[in-house]
Each structure stands twice: as C-alpha cells, then as structure tokens.
Amino acid sequence: MRFPILPPACLMSVGMCFAAQMAYGQAFEVASITPASPSESTISCKGGPGTTDPGLWRCSNVPLGFLISKVYGFEVYQLRPNDPCCRERFDFDAKVPQGTTREQFNRMIQTLLEERFKLKLHLVKKEMATYELSVAEGGLKMKQPEARIASEPEDTWSPPPTFTVGKDGYPVFPEGRAGVAGASGHYRWVGFDVSMQEMVKTLSFYLGRPVIDVTGLTGRYQVSLKWWIDVSWLLESSGRQDDIKDLSGLGRPGPTLIRAVQEQLGLKLTPGKGQGEVVVIDHLEKAPTRN
C-alpha cells in the first residue's frame, strides 16, 4: 500500500490539518492503545481498508516513529523510525467505520496520534546529502515490462513477500511475486512494472537520503537487484549494540546498493547536496491518554 503525502497546505501547517480532519469526523469509532510486550520482536499489522478485514485494524509492537512515518508518507531521511523521540512501541486495536477509504484511514491514525499522544510536528527545510540518479556510461540494463497480472499484498503496511533464502544468501520469491526483502543483510528487489518515480522512492528509502532523477526516462521497467548492507553497522546506528554479538553466519558480503544499481541496472548514483525537508517533533507524550 502507498501512503498519500499530505497536500502542501497540510505540510505547511500540520496542526491546522489535524483540526480540519477532526471537524470532518475522520476518527476511529473505538480505539485501544497499550504498551507492547517487551518479549515481542516483530511488527505485525493487519486489517483496515483494502484487506479481508476492513472493519478492524490491529497493529502490534509498533514504534511510534514507524507509525508516524507511514501515515504521513514521510521518507526515512525525514524522520527515522528509531529517532530517540519515537522509539516507544505500542499495540493498537481500532474499529474502522464501514466504507472508510485508505486516505481516510491514514487521517484517522493521524487524529489518534494527535489526541492520545498529543503529537505536534512540523517540517523544516534543510540542506542535506543527496544522490543524483542518471544512466550509467555502459547504458541502461533494465528491460521493458512483460504483460502480466500484478498481485499486491493485502496487508495494510505492505509487508515483504514470502520468501526462501537461496544458496547465495539472498531472498528468493515465489515465481511471479514482486517486492523487496532482506535476510541477514542480503537484500533483493524484484519488480515487473516499475516507474522511475517508484525507483527513486525505493532507492531513497534504502539509501536514507533523497534521490533526484535526472535520467530523463519516462517508461516502466523490470527490476532485478541484489545488494548487501552491513548489519552490524545498522544495529549499532539504531542503538542495538547488544544484538551485534548474535550476528554469526551471515554469509559472504555482496555489492553495496550504489554499486549494485550501476552493475545490475545500468544506473548511476552520484553524491551531491540539495534542499530537503525534515520532520521536527514539537511534542509527543511517552504514554497515551487512557483508552
């Protein structure tokens, strides 16, 4: 599922948008928020518009930063899920009114965060590191899409597809299934009908900075990409140093994402500087008000 980015008026004054949403009654009928179990290690979200259970949304072990990013459509470079302000994890249960659209659903979660956690935030412009995406000297290696019927995952948060791990340590998806998934630092992205806009969005997420498209490409393409990330560095940067000792048998390192994009897709990522917007959390309660 893609989460809509708020219109410019909302980005300029988030508080005004909260008020407008509440005025139009975009709120859950019933909602419960409880602290997540310390023993839980994975995020699980099910239900809501577009699923087999549209009337009941359940999310467990969700960091507030993750939830805020999803419902506002923020990129990882705008608000990191593990930001110290938003690491607390909670379980959410909410009854969704019949006929609710996905856009209204996101706004309901925004209202819930504002009411129960007293969330207040705004965006500020900031010079930041970027990447410029161009066609590499060797030429484009991606092919045009073949005719096929795409199947989208129904989970509200678009989880990675089911996969096995191949002999090379990388995820292997069932035939005909697209998506991005990682196993012990080895990542694979399979796409059958990808636009450059979608390409930029995915690369921005995994690179952690804005990617600017200067390829001039307007078509859609097949994507088959494998890369490796340093899991120990990732855990250390997210404050989980204690988990590093458990990283045994991760398999051989592979190409970085930047190198993989050039070698496997025929695209080049050039570091640069540019203007971007980052999220500033003005206020966020550590615990929600009572259910």
Tokens 């203007």: give the residue: 275
Residues 54, 60: Cα–Cα separation, whole Å = 17
Residue range 176-198, pLDDT digits in tens: 889 999 888 899 999 999 999 99
Residues 6+ apart with CB under 8 A from 44: 58, 59, 60, 61
Report the chain's mean pLDDT, rounded to a whole number: 83
Is the pLDDT at 156 greater than 90? The verdict is no
Sign for the CA dihedral angle at 208, 214, 218, 224 comes to: negative
What the block records as the tokens of 108 is: 């309901």
Q: pLDDT by residue (tens digit) across 31-73? A: 999 999 998 888 888 999 988 899 999 999 999 999 999 999 8
The beta-strand segments (E) located in 196-251 are: 211-213, 220-228
Of 30-34, 135-139, 247-251, the one with minimum mean pLDDT is 247-251
Q: Looking at residue 41, what is its pLDDT?
A: 81
Question: Of 284, 283, 281, 285, whose CA–CA distance to 78 is shortest?
Answer: 281
Q: Nearest Cα to 72, choosing from 275, 211, 279, 210?
A: 279
| pLDDT (0 to 100) of residue 251 | 55
When mean pLDDT is compared over 6-10, 50-54, 140-144, the highest value belongs to 140-144
- Counting residues of the chain whose pLDDT is more than 70, the rounded percentage is 78
Distance CA 198, CA 277 (A): 19
What residue has token string 């509200």?
A: 156
The DSSP secondary-structure symbol of 116 reads H
